[in-house]
Amino acid sequence: MLMRVFGAPFCAPCFEDETPTKVLELCCGSALWSSACNDYFKRSGSKVSFTGLDIAPLAPDLNRSGLDWTFVQHDTRKRLPFPDEEFDFIFIKDASICTSASVFQADPLGEPLRLLRSGGVLEVWDSDYLLRTLLPNPPVARGTSEDDLEQAQATGTYTISAATPFAQAQNQYLKDYNSWAQKALEKCRITTTPCASISLAFSAEADSFQDYGSRRIAIPLSEVRWEREPGATLATSKRRVSTPGTGEYRKLSQDQLALRRTALMTVVQTIESLEPMLIEANGYGQDEWDRWWSNMTADLLQQKGTANGEVLEVGAWWGQKR
């Protein structure tokens, strides 16, 4: 989903002219990213070697698919098993849930930077656990490139900056989830807003980078009521389009609707995966939880429960090491 949102397997502009030769995917899971990244670099005829690291061997043997692939099974609570300056591209996705007891907690970027060669790139993607509501007609994030704005417009998503107007989730089931997730994750010393934490980590390491940047995106979980109102503005274009008094409204394409449905399913599956922690936080019995779950899924998936503008907030951060 995020590769569709960002338009490529990575956001760092450094590889437009020069392809990396040795890539590390930390917390690689099924290694979907490594496979997609290999396909991307193959277009230029470049040969790239990939290493994936995770606590369990979930990835298939990608060598059978033509990748130069090595898998390393390792617990990230320990020092990473590579020499200094071993890689020229390190990618980390959705690893915030792993950081509470790992080497990343005290110094989130220290180990990846140790493994990165001078001139190499570190890129991190993640999303927030807590959900907010995007308010009508959000402004374009300042400094966003025309290409990124066009990508947001093509995907029906919204760029995020400090000026983006948000409110608390309006849907009662998502309010419940936010409250329980806050309590459950804080107990495990896991941040509920990884996007803010990662931004701070990159800012703290500013002296380690010759250049760094970020992209923040809000993905609505469904068609939003205020997008259909006459006079609504399209904040995904520098030329903000409005249709006052015409009765016209922004109509989403099937691809845009499918992306939002995928974001919604991602949220539902996240709630499902956190079930034991959420039950402990709310004190529900299993029957009570099952009733809440059934009502929640019906509301979100069948009854347009996110039409007020609840969004999944995602981000990408990158830096080129000095």
Beta bridge partners of 166: 134
Indicate the fold that domain 2-126 takes in CATH.
Answer: Rossmann fold (3.40.50)
How far apart, in Å, are the Cα atoms of 168 and each of 161, 176, 228, 300, 311? 17, 12, 21, 17, 11
Contact (Cβ atoms closer than 8 angstroms) between residue 25 and residue 91: yes
How far is residue 91's CA from residue 52's CA, in Å, rounded to a whole number?
10
Paired with 310 in beta bridges are: 133
Q: Lowest mean pLDDT: which of 73-77, 181-185, 295-299? A: 73-77
Confidence band of 163 (pLDDT split at 50, 70, 90): very high
This prediction has a pTM of: 0.93
- Res 312: pLDDT: 99
Domain boundaries, the chain: 2-126, 132-180+217-314
- 31 pLDDT more than 70: yes
Sign of CA dihedral 317, 47, 66, 85: negative
Task: Catalogue the E-assigned strands of the chain.
Answer: 22-26, 49-54, 68-73, 87-93, 116-127, 132-134, 158-159, 166-168, 209-220, 310-321
Look-up: residue for tokens 């068609």? Answer: 223
pLDDT tens per residue, range 253-284: 999 999 999 999 999 999 999 999 999 999 99
Q: How many CA atoms lie within 13 A of 100 on its CB side?
A: 10
Q: Is the pLDDT of residue 44 over 70?
A: yes
| Residue 138 DSSP symbol | P
Q: Which pLDDT score, from 0 to 100, does residue 118 have?
A: 97
